[in-house]
Copies of this chain bind each other. A is one copy, B any other.
């Protein structure tokens, strides 16, 4: 195992979104610091999954490394949503105390690059069991204690996700390979915080030729079983319409 030198003033933070067929969640790491003498809890809050980059890796690799370390998953949808370099972003008293405490040679001034990750919840739930890492509903984040500027990063990531979802077929990254139309509708609703008419939604899906029905249905559900579909990126690329319709 090679040990890598970190770049003390550049980091990568991942906002990892997951969908549990009900709501949108985000993966957060618990941060806890106790007084060495009396065990009093001095810090207890949450951070995004992030770390400094290594001298011999590029930004995307750093993000992928962090994601793999946390979830065990490779080949995850991962995309930058911004770089953040406010002078005071790691310098609240609490955060300074934390940086002293862990003492890893990070700089006072750190520019971080934010990455947005989308993962299929069903693939990762188990892996996390015994770590200080957990899923939280996106709606809960606003009331949580967050380290550094991570609440802000989170919001920026969510906004980026909402923007992208309307323009690129990325919700599929949040679903398993096979999914039903209702599930697809629910992801859109969860991400955008809206709701759609079922019939109109299905009409739209019918025009997405890259959402392909399978010869497979749900089994064992106490109601009419739903048909499964899959997303074909190949068909998407071939049939995408470069519609120019600028905003009014």
Contacts and interface: CB of A to CB of B under 8 A. Distances in A.
A99 interface: no
A169 B192 CA distance: 22
A109 to B, nearest CB: 6
Interface in A1-29: 7, 9-10
Interface residues of A, number: 39
Please give the count of copies of this chain that the complex contains: 2
A109 B7 contact: yes
Given A246-B188, A248-B204, A57 B87 contact: yes
Among A80, A85, A167, A245, max chain B CB count under 10 A is at A85
B109 A85 contact: no
B59 A111 contact: yes
A144 interface: no
A247 B241 CA distance: 8
Contact of A82 (B55, B58, B80): B80
20 contacts: A7-B9, A9-B9, A10-B111, A55-B109, A56-B87, A58-B86, A59-B84, A82-B83, A83-B83, A83-B113, A111-B111, A111-B113, A166-B245, A167-B246, A168-B247, A204-B248, A207-B248, A208-B248, A240-B247, A243-B247
Interface of A: 7, 9-10, 53, 55-59, 80, 82-87, 109, 111, 113, 163, 165-169, 188, 192, 194, 204, 207-208, 240-241, 243-248
